[in-house]
Amino acid sequence: MPGLPNNMKQALLDAHNRARAEVGAGSLAWSSRAEQQAAGWAQVLSRRCDIEHSRGSGFGENLFMGTLGFYDELDGVQSWKDEQRHYSGQPLSRELVPLVGHYTQMVWPDTRELGCATATCNNMMILVCNYYPPGNYLGESAW
């Protein structure tokens, strides 16, 4: 299965690192291990043509699904970044995570690695990004 082109990998990494720099989090590095995990899960999701989180991978995970040709990978990252408007550094709670969990995973201070992959189904693009170490621990803050 072909991976993302190098220029898209760099664009995804840059978009994450810009969001992280805004809150003083260290830069992420691209991880082939996280990318392989993301690619495997993206293929599973493409067969289901739906998105749901994997379980027990050891990675944090963000998912996005949008119409192929209208949305691209960077639109997915922007949708996660847009959750920032609901977050002001407070500790995460079960009620808060559904509103901000994609964003807080992007900027989680202990996370150091990123790997993303896409798959398609029924004219839809599925984006999976994996993060290591994972974040979003209840009772802790992303910044």
pLDDT of 67-113, one tens digit each?
999 999 999 999 999 999 999 999 999 999 999 999 999 999 999 99
Is residue 54 included in any domain, yes or no? Answer: no
Rounded Cα distance, 14 and 81, in Å: 13
- Work out the average pLDDT over 17-30: 98
Is residue 140 included in any domain, yes or no? Answer: no
Percent of the chain past pLDDT 90, that is, above it, reads 98
Is residue 1 included in any domain, yes or no? Answer: no
pLDDT in tens, 57-70: 999 999 999 999 99
Q: Is 58 helix (H, G, I), strand (E, B) or coil?
A: coil
Is residue 138 included in any domain, yes or no? Answer: no
Q: Is the pLDDT of residue 1 over 80?
A: no
**Can you give the CATH number for the domain in which 40 is found?**
3.40.33.10
pLDDT range class, residue 3, cuts 50, 70, 90:
confident
Is residue 88 included in any domain, yes or no? Answer: yes
Q: How far apart, in Å, are the Cα atoms of 138 and each of 14, 34, 59, 94?
A: 27, 23, 16, 7
Is residue 24 included in any domain, yes or no? Answer: no
Is residue 139 included in any domain, yes or no? Answer: no
Range of the domain at 100: 6-18+31-49+59-132
- Work out the average pLDDT over 33-49: 97
Domain count, the chain: 1
Is residue 36 included in any domain, yes or no? Answer: yes
pTM of the model: 0.96
